Amino acid sequence: MSCSITRFFSTLLLLPFVFGAAAQRPGYKYFKLEKDNKTVKINTLFKNHQGYLYAGTDNGLYKFDGEKYINIYFENAEYTDTVTAIFQDRQQKIWVGFKSGRIANIINKKLLYFNPEEGTPKKKITAFLQDRENNIWFSTNGEGIYYMKGNRIFLINDEDGLSDLNISSLALAGNGDVLAGSDQGINICSIKNGKKQITVISPKQGLPDYIVTAVVPAGNNTFWIGLQDKGFCLYDHVTKKITVPPAANNWNLGQVNSLLQAQQVLWIATQHNGLYRFSIAANKLDSLPKENTGATTVSLLEDKQGNIWLTSPLFGLVRTPGEMLKLITIPGSPDFEHVHAILSAKNGDIWINDYNNDLIRLFEKDGIYQAKKIKIPALTVKTDITSLYQDIYENIWVGSMGKGLFIVDPVSYKIRSFKENSLFLNAGILSINGRGNSVFVSSLEGSMLVQLGPGNADIEKPYSFTNYNSSSTGTNYIYNIFKDSRNRIWFATDGNGLTLLQQDNFTYYNNKDQIKDGHIFSITEDKSGHIWFSTSGAGIYKFDGQHFTNYTVADGLSDLNISVLKTDSAGNIIIVHKLGLDILNPATGSISYLNNSQGITKINAEDLGAVTQDSSGRVMVSTVSGILSYSFPENSLQKPIALIESVQLFLQDIDDDRPKIFRHDENNFTFNYTGLYYSDPETVYYQYKLEGLDNNWVITKDRSKNFPNLEPGKYTFRIQSSLNKTFKNADEAVYTFIIKKAFYKQAWFIILCIILAAALLYWYIRIREASLKKIERLRQEKIQFQFEVLRNQVNPHFLFNSFNTSYPPLKMIPKWRLNTWNSYPIFSGIL
């Protein structure tokens, strides 16, 4: 026998010892807000467009990132005010209403009081709304409803026909009307040609109660109405009809504080009886354990991952998994530690085995699961039930280890063993699967296809079957047989890879097709018709008909020790392993996780039969504390949303409205970012790069990055957040900015300097030239002058006159002297 089979058996025996103490309720988490060791009361919750949660408290406004509260201070840090309402308009502006009646906006991450000329109310602000014309409305507890048109504020109060001045909530109808819940019914307000029109819906019109505590949209112009004493009802704004669901008749659960419609469920927060869920389709009201939420529940909100949040004075902020996770437990019995096989039947019942390998049918009665035990006489403690299957006639097929196959009628509880096939008489059944009228059974002795006929609604009628043996499937050990949407039959073999039966031809996919591990445990098909299968040690594979794609830990899987694959109603591949569930989006390859951080522990990932799916696609797994049921929340985003929370220059926040162009010496930037993922904020990985400095991504768990001494240039900071290091389909936030060069390094300045220098040089040369010319001219003039002087001096008249005065007349000069003079050329010329 192969090693995997041995492991399969040994773990069956070890299971009772594997499970430990009971875990916390999956998906619940508590975040108390404390200041100076005192609990701060949270009055209201709000989610902004990006998905960020805000908590309005007695100590002002807080942002909540999933791990910690961040106080948003007033611009004047000394102010504090009790927040009673929070709202974000379509222009992304946040409005905060206070108990004092004042109103503030968040501007540059600080609260700034809104000071209209008309003043602000003196009574508590209870709600905000933006109408179709983008006018902001706000309601008060005692003054009626205000609306802002242009710069003016108008009041709707009793004088205008408002039935009461205490307004609890506002909602916008499809035709632009504003619905206001008050202490005297619903006021339908509209402004037509500047005139206020109010219609009141009160008990006279069929409203079950006077006091309306909540009005929330329910789609198609209908609204859920929360009431003070009579529960809730549905109001249709088109027909003006009020419907009270049967579940809300004879309401005795006290005041409804808040309503929230999410994932086809209406969540109801009550004043004294905790949280309720009203399943709209099934018209069914269930309570959630008060010990998980507190008796008083106030505000409700759904985050982008589909978690439902509430506030309660006892626990502060509470994260609940909403419809995503449910734990089915039955106090006292049965013992979930011994559950090796589960089956979700078409009528909503759950079938499991217990320690004695009796069959247990769990059925819901008045919101509580009850157990019915069915004894299969042939089975004992030692002959485990390994697999359960429900055929198209709703009969239950039971596979045992060593005692073969049984079929149970779920109504009469009649049991018969499958004796038609001698091979299966005392077989060790590994799996039972099927599609339509085909039922596949694999065992240690071989596999068979049972073809159901019309008569097989009665379990006593004979079944027709076909055997498969190792000559066709490659091995006798088959873990799973899967018929896909194209009626192809896939065999998950123990060691021989995947075998495909198509039109009577067998095709074998194994290590020659790069399947690294031939021990295949489980097979499923995604919505694109691709086949996915899990292996014993090489992760999972996708087969698109041409190629096999392998997903391992490097691709984000939590664990390679995978038992079962299922495809959920949203088309995700659910990967069951002992640490939890990995939810793989086949389109993007991105993976989200449900594990210990949601309080999920001790999943039975050893028994391939311990995972099932109900008719709506919910995946159910067996855990030590009960049956955990999971469904993908509709329209939810199972990846962290990357946000740049603030950008700092020299550790000082940069104002949001400041142009992103900085001086050369403004070059020290810090980016504070987050990846909002309320299901498990601690898991989030980040990778960043600053284009312009370094184009390589850097992976980090830090939520802040500083870049000192940036050179002038254009930069783009990119931050991505992901639940693993693959960053597949990761969300990205971007901040682009420019650091300008110093003016003396800029081209225009350098060119100007060059031009100036050239001009100076040119000017200098010109001046010097002119000066040289002048000097030359002066020198010439001087020479000329000297020449003229000299010439004048040697003018004969002058000379003679000079001589006449200075020297004796020539005739008086002795001849010898004259001869001597004659020897001088100058004189000789003159003479």
Closest distance of CB 119 from another protein, Å: 4
Minimum CB separation of residue 581 from another protein in Å reads 56
Instruction: Determine if 118 is a binding residue for another protein (CB under 8 A).
Output: yes
CA distances from 121 to 81, 97, 103, 129, 154 (A): 14, 10, 9, 16, 11
Separation CA 162–CA 693 (nearest Å)? 62
In the region spanning residues 159 to 178, those forming contacts with another protein, defined by CB under 8 A, are 159
- The residue (of 191 and 573) whose beta carbon lies closer to another protein is 191
Least Å distance, CB 196 to another protein, is 8
**Residue 192 C-beta: closest distance to another protein, Å:** 14
CB of 100 to another protein, least distance (A): 13
The span from the CA of 682 to the CA of 54, in Å, is: 19
User: Considering only 82-90, 115-123, 198-206, 386-394, which stretch makes contact with another protein by CB under 8 A?
Assistant: 115-123
SS3 per-residue string spanning 362-383? EEEECCEEEEEEECCCCCCCCC
Question: What gap in Å lies between CA 560 and CA 534, rounded to an integer?
Answer: 9
Using CA atoms, how far residue 290 sits from 270, 297, 315, 751, in Å, is: 11, 10, 11, 77
Q: Which range of residues in 117-125, 705-713, 757-765, 775-783 is near another protein by CB under 8 A?
A: 117-125
Interface residue with another protein among 107, 155, 234, 813 (CB under 8 A) is 155
Q: Which is nearer to another protein, 160 or 691 (CB)?
A: 160
Q: Which stretch binds another protein (CB under 8 A): 112-120, 354-362, 379-387, 649-657?
A: 112-120
State the Cα–Cα distance between residues 596 and 358, nearest whole angstrom. Answer: 31
Closest separation in Å from C-beta 106 to another protein: 24
Q: Out of 152, 240, 372, 527, point to the residue binding another protein (CB under 8 A).
A: 152
The answer to whether residue 157 forms part of the interface with another protein (CB under 8 A) is yes
Closest to another protein by CB, 152 vs 658, is: 152
Q: How far is the CB of 101 from another protein (least distance, A)?
A: 10
Binding mask 222-241 for another protein (x = CB under 8 A): --------------------
For the bound state, the minimum distance from the C-beta of residue 200 to another protein, rounded and expressed in Å, comes to 20
- CA dist 25 and 600 (Å) reads 8
User: 57 or 140: whose CB is closer to another protein?
Assistant: 140
Out of 36, 78, 117, 682, the only residue in the binding site for another protein (CB under 8 A) is 117
> Can you tell me the distance from the alpha carbon of 200 to that of 74, in angstroms, rounded to the nearest whole number?
38
Q: Which stretch binds another protein (CB under 8 A): 148-156, 209-217, 225-233, 321-329?
A: 148-156
Token pair for 39: 């609990």
Q: Which is nearer to another protein, 117 or 133 (CB)?
A: 117
What lies within 8 Å, CB to CB, of 88 at 6+ separation is 46, 48, 49, 94, 95
Q: Does 192 bind another protein (CB under 8 A)?
A: no
Buried b (16+ CB within 10 A) or exposed e, 745-776: eeeeeeeeeeeeeeeeeeeeeeeeeeeeeeee
Shortest CB 115 distance to another protein, Å: 10
Rounded least distance, CB 112 to another protein, Å:
19
Q: Minimum Å distance from CB 189 to another protein?
A: 14
Choices 42-50, 152-160, 515-523, 659-667 (CB under 8 A): range interacting with another protein: 152-160
Q: Which of 65, 131, 143, 645 binds another protein (CB under 8 A)?
A: 143
Q: Which stretch binds another protein (CB under 8 A): 58-66, 155-163, 403-411, 552-560?
A: 155-163
**SS3 annotation, 705-760:** EEECCCCCEEEEEEEEEECCCCCCCCEEEEEEEEECCCHHHCHHHHHHHHHHHHHH
Give the separation between CA 420 and CA 406, rounded to whole angstroms.
11
Cα dihedral 151, 156, 159, 163, rounded to 10, equals 180
Least spacing, CB of residue 633 vs another protein, in Å: 44
- The residues in 271-310 that bind another protein, with binding defined as CB under 8 A, are none
Among 6, 14, 32, 119, binds another protein (CB under 8 A): 119
**DSSP assigned state of 420:** S
Sign of the dihedral through C-alpha 412, 413, 414, 419: positive
For residue 39, which of 65, 63, 57, 62 has the smallest C-alpha distance? 57
Residue with tokens 């001087």: 782
- Regarding 153 and contact with another protein (CB under 8 A), the answer is yes
Cβ proximity to another protein, 117 vs 366, nearer residue: 117
Query: How far is residue 738 from each of residues 282, 660, 691, 717, 735, measured CA to CA in Å?
Result: 58, 6, 11, 11, 10
- Whole-Å CA distances, 39 to 108, 591, 733: 28, 37, 35
Candidate ranges 153-161, 289-297, 308-316, 582-590; the one touching another protein (CB under 8 A): 153-161
- Give min distance, CB of 158 to another protein, in A: 9
Burial class (CB in 10 A: 0-12, 13-18, 19+), 311: buried
Among 9, 30, 154, 210, binds another protein (CB under 8 A): 154
Among 7, 122, 373, 779, contact with another protein (rule: CB under 8 A): 122
Nearest approach, Cβ of residue 155 and another protein (Å): 5
Tell me the C-alpha distance between 333 and 329, whole Å: 9
Nearer to another protein, 140 or 722 (CB): 140
Residue 682 binds another protein (CB under 8 A)? no
Number of residues that bind another protein (CB under 8 A): 12
One-letter amino acid identity for 789? V
Place of tokens 């031939």: 518
Query: Of the two residues 58 and 131, which places its CB atom closer to another protein in the complex?
Result: 131
162-168: long-range contacts, CB 8 A cutoff, minimum separation 24: 162/187, 162/189, 162/198, 163/187, 163/198, 163/200, 163/202, 165/140, 166/141, 166/142, 167/126, 167/127, 167/139, 167/140, 167/141, 168/126, 168/127, 168/139, 168/141, 168/212, 168/213, 168/214, 168/215
- Does 193 sit near another protein (CB under 8 A)? no
Q: Quick one: DSSP state of residue 3?
A: H
Closest to another protein by CB, 119 or 453: 119
707 binds another protein (CB under 8 A): no
Q: Rounded to the nearest whole angstrom, what is the least distance from the CB of residue 128 to another protein in the complex?
A: 18
Contact set with another protein (CB under 8 A): 117-119, 121-122, 143, 152-155, 157, 159
